[in-house]
Amino acid sequence: MNKGNILINIIIVLVIIFILGFLFYCITIDYWNKENIEITVKEKYIKRSIDGNADIYYVATEEGEVYKITDLLFKGKFNSSDIYNELDIGKKYKVEITGVRIPIFSMYKNLNKVEPVEN
């Protein structure tokens, strides 16, 4: 094997490792960075997923953030539509969120738990 072939093989392996790492990151990102915050709901809406097989729930807040509400297999969270339905526009909530916001990939933090705040 000459040096050129070795270099090409190393580059191929590095690209494969990068792609697999990126896929793992994208799949697990909704489980990271747990935060507990208070929000006031400004707007709620539903968008059809890119593949057209599911609806994704979104909540815009008075604080200027947008969160998605989706099920998370490894957290045992399968009540996204119930959480979405609990939220009322203009009301304040204590919420648990996970994930990160990456605008270039249209990725949003995931809203996992809600508890109304009494005024």
Per-residue pLDDT of 74-102, as tens digits, reads: 778 889 999 999 999 999 999 999 988 88
Reduced to 3 states (helix: H, G, I; strand: E, B; else coil), residue 69 is strand
Would residue 26 count as lying in a domain?
no
Distance of CA 48 to the CA centre of its chain: 15
Would residue 23 count as lying in a domain?
no
Q: Which two tokens stand for residue 46?
A: 């539903």
Of the listed ranges 9-18, 23-32, 81-90, 98-107, the one predicted with least confidence: 23-32
Please count the structural domains in the chain: 1
Write the CATH number for 105.
Answer: 2.40.50
Would residue 3 count as lying in a domain?
no
Of the listed ranges 7-16, 18-27, 50-59, 61-70, the one predicted with least confidence: 18-27
Q: Residue 38 belongs to what domain range?
A: 32-116
pTM of the model: 0.74
Would residue 40 count as lying in a domain?
yes
Would residue 95 count as lying in a domain?
yes
Per-residue pLDDT of 48-69, as tens digits, reads: 877 888 888 999 999 999 999 9
Tell me the C-alpha distance between 112 and 31, whole Å: 10
Would residue 1 count as lying in a domain?
no
The beta strand positions in the chain, using DSSP E, are 35-48, 55-61, 66-69, 92-98, 109-116
Reduced to 3 states (helix: H, G, I; strand: E, B; else coil), residue 36 is strand
